[in-house]
Structure 1
Amino acid sequence: MIPFFRKIRKTLADDNKPIKYFRYAIGEIILVVIGILIALQINSWNEQRKERIQEKIFLKRFVVELNTNLENILTAISLNKSRIHRAEFLLRTIDKPQLAVDSSSYFMKSIEHASYTNIPLISDNAFEELKSSGNLSLISNEALRAALQKYYSWTSSEGQYNFLQQDIQLNYSQLKQGIFTTSQVIDMGDYYITKNYSAIEAKETFERMLNKPKFLEFIPYVIQNKLMAGNSYDDICNQAKAIKILLKAELDKQNDD
């Protein structure tokens, strides 16, 4: 470039054409600037293209992760409802002892399972990877990004409440000690056991249960805890379903671009 301007300067000095020189020099500068701007634009476009590719990869990972999480949440909701029904059934037997005898196996297993806790496992690997790398901005859709942040904060925000559920289960387990015989306690150790209980076993167990007033008084607290858990699970389930819709819309949009 320097030899070029020296040549121009020499020519102008010879020809005495300064106006032509400045026009030509300005034109050269403009071309250089335009070239730089085009190069910067191409570089920016390439970076944006790479970001969109990365974003699409993460969006697909969120879909897979969300589907698994939803299965866990729906399972937790179903089990939670089942345990509420069992606890409510135990309360009904107090006024109607015949219920325990007529549904002997359900009664026996309700004593064991009514307070069981099943906290849905929310996998957050993709989100944590984005957050820890400081690349949350890769998710270009602001509404989707905000929804993901709220959804994945559920596990930490519910930590203390989940501890309460586990505490309720522990207290319940301690209060029911002495209701089952030794062999029944061992049988109940396998959640998936298919053992059926006779009406006589249920009647004897019911009588032992009545002799545990603190256990009976604790059942309403189990129900209350399960109802609160159910509301929480319903909330996170609805969030997950809403995010699925946002993810599908965003992926469809990117596929069309």
Structure 2
Amino acid sequence: MIKFFRQIRQNLLIENKTGRYFKYALGEIILVVIGILIALQINNWNEERKANILENKALLALKNEFNQNIERFHFIMKERDSGQVVLRTYFDIITNDTIPIEKKAQANKGAYFGGNWGAQNTVLNGLVNSGAIDNIKNDSLKILLTSWPNLVQNWNSEEVKLEKLIQKMNDYKRTKIRQGIPKPLNEKKGYIYKETIEQFYSRMALIVNDLEYQNFVASEIQNLHHQSIVGGRLIRNYEQIISALNIELKNRNIN
């Protein structure tokens, strides 16, 4: 093809048709430019197609990651909210001067799941750290995703506060109640306690009326209450993210 065009140019020069030669040369330049533009466009289409494939995979991976995280978080929130209800009832009992001390000592403080959430944000962190999150075209979704780590950090901070509070409360109780010791290795697992249940309640009677202990319980309720607020914000953000992801995946015909 190049040889064919060269032959035409040479024939025009030999025939001394300079005007036609320049017109032809200009046309050839235009064809070359058009060819380059077409090649660039095709390359852009290919790059965009590759970017869309990567974005689709990222969106699916994000949805799976968020669903796994929130499943455990719902369990934790349910446990903490239930614990708060029990603690409020317990607090009302131990701070009520009309209730006999024996009943206060035997009141059930209750227990709830106090473990960490440990959210896994491997996919999201990878997108943020690599800058690939900028490839997500949905600006609303991008804003929601970038706000998520701060909400998780806020929750983690509340969990640390709760852990420290419970540790302080346990340290306080160790100065008031005789602790048990583990059973020997050749026996079944468990603890040996040197007090009868009556002796235990007798010691608890000295604790429940102590202002320091009551304030520990009040602080625990306050912490759980604040966790409910922070957790509520986190869940709302999650619901918005999942809704945006579902819409985006639906628009892309991805299940």
TM-score, L = length of structure 1: 0.80
Secondary structure in structure 2 of the residue aligned to 1:176? helix
1:139 touches 1:145 (CA, 8 Å); kept in 2?
A: yes
Q: Displacement of 1:9 after TM fit?
A: 4.4
Contact 1:119 1:162 in 2 (8 A): yes
The C-alpha deviation readout for 1:141-178, integer Å capped at 9, x for no partner, is: 11101100101232334554443222212112222235
Distance (whole Å) between structure 1 residues aligned to residue 146 and residue 219 of structure 2 = 32
Paired AA for residue 233 in structure 1: G
Q: 1: distance between equivalents of 2:58 and 2:2? A: 50
1:10 deviates by: 3.4
Percent of residue pairs identical = 27
8 Å Cα contact 1:54/1:138 also seen in 2:
no
Tell me the equivalent position of 2:28: 28
Counterpart of 1:190? none
Equivalent pair of 1:101/1:199 in contact (CA under 8 Å): no
Residues 93 and 100, structure 1, Cα contact 8 Å, conserved in 2: no
RMSD (CA atoms): 3.2
**Which consecutive residues of structure 2, in runs of 5 or more, have no partner in the other structure?**
184-189, 191-195
Match of 2:213 among 212, 215, 218: 215
Which whole-Å CA distance do the structure 2 matches of 1:174 and 1:64 have between them? 41
- In structure 2, the partner of 1:14 is 14
| Residue 46 of structure 2 is aligned to residue 46 of structure 1 | yes
* Per-residue deviation, 1:132: 1.9
The 10-residue stretch of structure 1 (233-242 or 74-83) with the greater mean CA deviation from structure 2: 74-83
Distance 1:253 1:215 in 2: 57
**Would you say how many aligned residue pairs link Structure 1 and Structure 2?**
241
Q: Which runs of 5+ in 1 are unaligned?
A: 188-192
| 2:141 is aligned with 1:141 | no
Quick one: which of 218, 232, 236 aligns to 2:234? 236
Q: Which amino acid aligns with 2:251?
A: K
Bigger Cα displacement from structure 2, 131-140 vs 33-42: 131-140
- Deviation of the 1:103 alpha carbon: 11
Matches within 5 A, 1:94-243: 94=94, 95=96, 97=99, 107-108=107-108, 110=110, 113=111, 117-177=114-174, 180=177, 182-183=179-180, 203-204=201-202, 206-210=204-208, 212-243=210-241
Q: More deviation in 78-87 or 7-16?
A: 7-16
* Counterpart check, 1:75 vs 2:72: no
More helix by share: 1
Moved more, 151-160 or 3-12: 3-12
Q: Give the AA of the match of 1:153.
A: N
Distance 1:234 1:170 in 2: 26
Q: 1:248 to 1:163 in 2, by over 3 A?
A: same
Q: TM-score, normalization: structure 2?
A: 0.80
After TM superposition, give the deviation of residue 223 of structure 1 in Å.
1.0
User: Per the alignment, do residues 43 and 6 of structure 1 end up closer, same or farther by CA in structure 2, a change over 3 Å counting?
Assistant: closer
Aligned-partner Cα distance in 2 for 1:92–1:46: 68
